[in-house]
Structure 1
Amino acid sequence: MELRSLQSPCAVSCISHGGFTEKPFLCGLTNIKLPLENRNCPNSKKLQFVDHKARVSGTAKLKVEARNTTSSDAGGKDENLVFVAGATGKVGSRTVRELLKLGFKVQAGVRSTQRAESLVQSVQNMKLDDVAGGTPIDRLELVVCDLEKRDQIEPALGKSSTVICCIGASEKEISDITGPYRIDFQATKNLIDAATSAKVKHFILVTSLGTNKIGFPAAILNLFWGVLIWKRKAEEALLASGLSYTIVRPGGMERPTDSFKETHNITLSEEDTLFGGLVSNLQVAELLAFMAKNRSLSSFKIVEVIAETSAPLTPMGELLQKIPSHRAEVNASGVSDNANTPTPPVSESSSSKKEPEPLKPTATRPLSPYTAYDDLKPPTSPSPSANFVKLQ
C-alpha cells in the first residue's frame, strides 16, 4: 500500500472514534490506543486498526492503493487469516475469540470503533499461552467496513482465506422495515460478491432455522418484515456463487446463556429437517471456528444446529461427517466417475433409421419455497397515491 502527498505535506485529519486516540495515518493504517485512564491493558498498543474510509483535510490529496485489489495478489491468501463480518455481535464476538483460541489471525469487520471497544477488552482479558503468532491481541485486527457499500468490502478482506458472516438485522429495531432486506440479504450478498472477486477459499454463512420452510414457526419469524425470506435469498446467492461454502442454521439463540453448554450438547442435522430448538451463541461460535479449522469436513454443507439435554457429547468432527456434502462426486483425476463408463456401439443402420427424439424438459425442485417472492421488491415507506384527496 502506498501513501503519497501530491500537493503538500499536510497531515491527514484524525477521525474521531469515540473514546479512542490515534496517530496520524501511515500508509492507510492507524494504531489504536485505549483511553489513557485504562491501565489494565498493557498490550493495548499492539492492536492494529485499518480504516478504509479515510478522509483528508485541506487541499491535500492522497493516493492509497488498497490491499488485495489486484489480480496478482488474488492467489496470495493467508490460510491462517479469517475475516469475521459482524464481529461485534453476540455470535460474531464469540467467534472471534474462539478463532483466536485455535491460533487463527482474525480480521474483525466492524462498522465503527465505538462498538468494538468491548470486543477489544474481551480479547485482552483472554488467558491464553502465547502461540507462534503471538498473544490473542497481537493476532486481532479491526477493519472498519460498511457492508452496504460494495466498494469497501474487497479491500477489507485483504488476504483472508476464510470469511465468516454473522450479520443480521437487529430485532430491537422492529420499526425498521428495510432492515432484513438491507442487512440479511443485500449486505450479505455484497460480501459474497466481494469474496468471490477476491477468490476467498471458504465462506461460512450463519442464517436461521426455517429459512427454507413455510408454515409454523417460520411464519412467526417472517412477521419481522420477511426476515427468513431475505435470509434464504442470501443462501441462494451463496449457493450460486461457486464458492466453497458452509451454511449454518442455528435454532433460537435469544434465551440460552454461555452456560447452556454445560447441560445441553449440540446436535447437527441435515437441511430442512428441524422445526425448532435452542442453542447458545457460544456453541454456535465454537462450531464456526471448528469449521474454519476443518474446511474439508464442512465444505459444501448446509447444517442445522440445536442443543439438547438428551444429545450425547459427541466430537464436532463426527457430527459433521454425518452431514452429506453437496459437492459433485469426482475421482482423483478430476473427471466425473461416469466419464469412463464405456458406451455401447451404435450401428449405422440403427442410427440412420431413427431420428433423435427432442429432449423433454424435466421438472426440477425449486431452490426455495418462496418462489412466489421471486420478484419481491425491497420494502419502502408508503407514499400517497395520485388520487389522494386531503380532507379539510
Structure 2
Amino acid sequence: MPSESSSTLAVTGASGKTGWRVVQEALARGYRVKALLRPGSEVPEGLQGAELIRLELGDQAALEQALAGVQALVIATGARPSVDLAGPLKVDALAIRQQCAACAAAGVKRVVLVSSLCSGRWLHPLNLFGLILVWKRLGERWLEASGLDWTVVRPGGLKETEENLDAQGIRFSGPDQQESNSIPRRLVARVCLDALDSPASIGRIIEVTSDAGVEPLSLAEWLAIQPQPV
C-alpha cells in the first residue's frame, strides 16, 4: 500500500453500521475515501469529507467506474434481516464475487472483507436467516480465489458501544478458533485499516473479538508471531 496521504480507499456498505465507521477511521488516517452507498440508503452522520457514490453492486459498469483510481477496497456489505431469505446469498456471496471482478477490471489489487465469526458453519442459529454463514463462507472463498491481495476479518458479535474502547484488548486468532464473544464495530473498522498497513495480513483469515481482560496487542504485533500462511 502507498502511504495513506496518497491513497484512495473505497468502502462498500458505507452506510452500514460498520461501514461508516471504516470511512470515518480512514479519513482520520489521511486516506481519500470513496464511500459506496446503495441508491436508497440514508447517509449517516460522520461521512463528511468522503466522496459519496450511489450505485447498485450488481451494476458492474458503475462499480468499475467507482473503483477507478482506487488503491484498496474494504467490503463492509452485509445482508440485513428481512423476509427475503435469498438476501444473504445475494449480498454475502454473489455481491462479493461481483466486487472481486470489478476490482480486477479496475486494477484494484488490495481487498479487506468484513465477514463473521463462524463463517461456513452449518449448524448455527444465525443460519435461520437464509443460511447466512454458509453464504458468507462462499463469498470468502470467491475472494480467496480471485487473485487479489486479500484479507478476511471475521468479527464476533458486533457492538455499537463507543465508550472505553482503549480499555478493550483485541483477541486475534486464525480461522475457526473462536466461536463466541463480541467486539465494538469501531475496533473492527480499525482492524480493517491496520490490515491495509500490514502486508503480513495478506492471504489470511483473521478472527477478532475483544474484552477488557485481554492483553493489548496490535495486529502487526500478532502477525509478527504467526507462521506464514500456506
TM-score under structure 2 length normalisation: 0.91
In the alignment, which residue of structure 1 is the partner of 2:64? 154
TM superposition shift of 1:256: 4.7
- Which amino acid in structure 1 is aligned with residue 33 of structure 2? V
Q: Are the counterparts in 2 of residues 79 and 160 from structure 1 also a CA contact under 8 Å?
A: no
- Give, in whole Å, the separation in 1 of the partners of 2:141 and 2:155: 17
**Distance (whole Å) between structure 1 residues aligned to residue 212 and residue 129 of structure 2:** 30
SS in 2 for 1:302: strand
- Between Structure 1 and Structure 2, whose CA radius of gyration is higher? 1
Residue 147 of structure 1: SS of its match in structure 2?
coil
- Residue 176 (structure 2) aligns with: 272
Q: Which one of the candidate residues 278, 283, 289 is aligned to 2:187?
A: 283
User: What's the counterpart of residue 73 of structure 2?
Assistant: 163
Q: Flag structure 2 segments of 5+ consecutive residues without an equivalent.
A: none
Match of 1:182 among 90, 103, 106: 90
Aligned to 2:32: 105
Structure 2 counterpart of 1:314: 217
8 A contact 1:213–1:272 mirrored in 2: no
Q: Give the letter for the 1:243 counterpart.
A: L
Whether the aligned pair in 1 keeps the contact of 2:96 and 2:143 (CA below 8 Å) is: no
Secondary structure in structure 2 of the residue aligned to 1:248 = strand
Q: Distance in 2 between matches of 1:88 and 1:256?
A: 14
- C-alpha separation in 1, matches of 2:227 and 2:104: 24
Assess, with a 3 A threshold, how the Cα gap between structure 1 residues 223 and 296 changes in structure 2: closer, same or farther: same
Query: C-alpha distance in 2, partners of 1:258/1:324?
Result: 33
Partner SS, residue 276 of structure 1: coil
> Structure 1 262/230 Cα, relative in aligned 2: closer, same or farther at 3 Å?
same
Alignment partner, residue 100 of structure 2:
192
Q: Does 1:228 align with 2:138?
A: no
Pair 242,325 (structure 1): closer, same or farther in 2 beyond 3 Å:
farther
Report the alpha carbon displacement of residue 156 of structure 1 after superposing the two structures with TM.
Answer: 1.0
Greater fraction of residues in helix: 2
Alpha-carbon distance change, 324 to 261 in structure 1, aligned in 2, over 3 angstroms: farther
1:146 partner amino acid: E
Quote the Cα distance in structure 2 between the aligned partners of 1:243 and 1:194: 11
CA-based RMSD: 1.9
Residues in 2 aligned to 1:164 and 1:243: alpha-carbon distance in whole angstroms: 13
Query: Which residue does 2:151 correspond to in 1?
Result: 246
Cα 1:167–1:114 shift into 2, 3 Å: closer
3-state SS of paired residue (2:163):
helix
Which of 74, 88, 111 aligns to 1:203? It is: 111
Measure how far apart 1:145 and its partner are: 1.8
Partner residue in 1 for 2:206:
303
User: Aligned runs of 1:1-392 on 2, under 5 Å?
Assistant: 80-112=7-39, 115-116=42-43, 118-119=44-45, 122-124=46-48, 137=49, 140-171=50-81, 173=82, 175-215=83-123, 219-253=124-158, 255-259=159-163, 261-292=165-196, 294-326=197-229
Shift in Å at residue 197 of structure 1?
1.9
Equivalence for 1:52: none
Query: Which structure: greater strand fraction?
Result: 2
What is the CA deviation profile of residues 134-153 of structure 1, one whole-angstrom value per residue up to 9, with x for unaligned ones?
Answer: xxx2xx21111210222321
Secondary structure in 1 matching 2:7: strand
Is the CA contact 1:270–1:323 (under 8 Å) kept in the aligned structure 2? Answer: no
Does structure 1 retain, via aligned residues, the 8 Å contact 2:121–2:134?
Answer: no
- SS of 2:215's equivalent in the other structure is coil
Partner Cα distance (2:11, 2:117) in 1: 21
Indicate how the Cα distance of structure 1 residues 99 and 323 shifts in structure 2: closer, same or farther if over 3 A, else same: farther
Report the CA distance shift for 1:159/1:228 in structure 2 as closer, same or farther (over 3 A).
Answer: same
Q: CA deviation at 1:324?
A: 4.1
Q: Helix, strand or coil: the match of 1:90?
A: coil
Structure 1 runs, 4 residues or longer, greater than 4 Å off:
none
Q: Partners in 2 of 1:123 and 1:150 — Cα distance?
A: 24
Residues 330-375 of structure 1, C-alpha deviations (whole Å, 9 max, x = no match): xxxxxxxxxxxxxxxxxxxxxxxxxxxxxxxxxxxxxxxxxxxxxx
Give the conservation status (yes or no) of the 8 Å contact 1:162–1:200. yes
CA distance in 1, matches of 2:227, 2:113: 17
Q: Which protein, 1 or 2, shows the higher relative CO under an 8 Å CA cutoff with sep ≥ 6?
A: 2
Task: Calculate the TM-score normalised by the size of structure 1.
Answer: 0.55
From the superposition, tell whether residues 214 and 199 of structure 1 become closer, same or farther in structure 2 (CA, over 3 Å). same
